Amino acid sequence: MRSARRIPPGTTFPSDSSHSPARRLTVRGTDNDLYTLEDYFIPEEHTITSLFRWPDAKRLALAVPYRFGGSSLYASGFACVALGNARGMLDEFIDLSKRKVPRWGKNPLADNMIVQVAVAECDTRLESARVYLVQNLRDIEAAAERRQGGPTMDERMKIRAAGTYVLRLSTGVVNQLYEMAGTTAIFDGNPFERRFRDAHTISQHAQGRISHMETVGKHLLGIEQVPRFV
């Protein structure tokens, strides 16, 4: 019988190319990788049960971040990525608007009243969404800490609603800014093309489904259901 090997701290493992997923439209700088380990020993203190096994008494005894289920982590995590991408798009557009003069125009985009209103609204929408998401998470984290448990169903629904709302709002902001940037945005490799692609890669994920709001709505209305993605 072979003995399992311990993994030294800092060990890295190459991706298992034989199981690499097919190429796809994806967020630049990221990809899905699969790993196969055989005959390695993982100490129990370095393991965690599935984040989707809920509730899990063993995990609920750990620090607060570990008490959140996988769906809540995905909902808030994807929303944060979408929000950061949209904020980057707005920063890039503000810079472009000061330099770009539309064809047959005399003044830069920044002097256009429509652009000025759009920039103010996009900034307000993104900041409001950020505060809404972060405050929700902080409140729920504090409540879980006080009662020494995990998020309640009401709290999980709040995370689901906030995550979906912020993700979809962020995608809308990116779409608006992409359109206002004009033909500058269509060229491969520029920030607008990249962030537009990233926004729609993020929003195509299951976390961006509008049907999640149906789940939240049923919960608020007291309609019986089998909750999913919460």
Q: For position 26, what pLDDT does the model report?
A: 56
**Mean pLDDT over each residue of the chain, to the nearest integer:** 86
Decide if pLDDT at 20 tops 60. no
Average pLDDT over residues 187-206: 92
Distances (CA, A) of 94 to 80, 90, 169, 180: 21, 6, 19, 11
The DSSP letter of residue 5 is E
- Could you give the angle at which helices 153-180 and 70-99 cross, rounded to 10 degrees? 20
Q: For position 28, what pLDDT does the model report?
A: 57
Go through 149-178 and write b for each residue having 16 or more CB atoms within 10 A of its CB, e for each that does not.
ebbeeebbbbbbbbbbbbbbbbbebbbbbb
Q: How many CB atoms are located within 10 Å of the residue 100 CB?
A: 15
**Global pTM value:** 0.82
What is the rounded CA–CA span in Å between residue 25 and residue 152?
A: 36
Decide if pLDDT at 27 tops 90. no
**Model confidence at 157, in pLDDT bands (50, 70, 90)?**
very high
Give the residues across from 40 on adjacent strands. 5
Decide if pLDDT at 196 tops 90. yes
Q: For position 66, what pLDDT does the model report?
A: 83
Per-residue tokens: 214 = 């149906």
Q: For position 40, what pLDDT does the model report?
A: 79
The DSSP letter of residue 187 is S
What is the rounded CA–CA span in Å between residue 115 and residue 109?
A: 7
**At CA 144, angle to CA 78 and CA 139, rounded to 5?**
60
CATH code for the domain defined by 59-221: 1.20.140.10
Decide if pLDDT at 19 tops 60. no
Structural domain spans, the chain? 59-221
Q: For position 1, what pLDDT does the model report?
A: 43
Q: Choose the weakest-confidence range: 41-45, 111-115, 126-130, 145-149.
A: 41-45
What is the rounded CA–CA span in Å between residue 6 and residue 29?
A: 31
Average pLDDT over residues 10-20: 59
The alpha-helical segments, DSSP class H, found in the chain are 57-60, 70-99, 113-147, 153-180, 191-203, 211-221
**Model confidence at 156, in pLDDT bands (50, 70, 90)?**
very high
Average pLDDT over residues 176-205: 93
**Model confidence at 148, in pLDDT bands (50, 70, 90)?**
confident
State percent of the chain over pLDDT 90: 62
Cα of first residue to Cα of last residue in the chain, in angstroms, is: 43
Report pLDDT digits (tens) over 61-113: 788 888 898 899 999 999 999 999 999 999 999 999 999 999 888 999 999 99
What is the rounded CA–CA span in Å between residue 207 and residue 74?
A: 7
Give the residues across from 6 on adjacent strands. 41
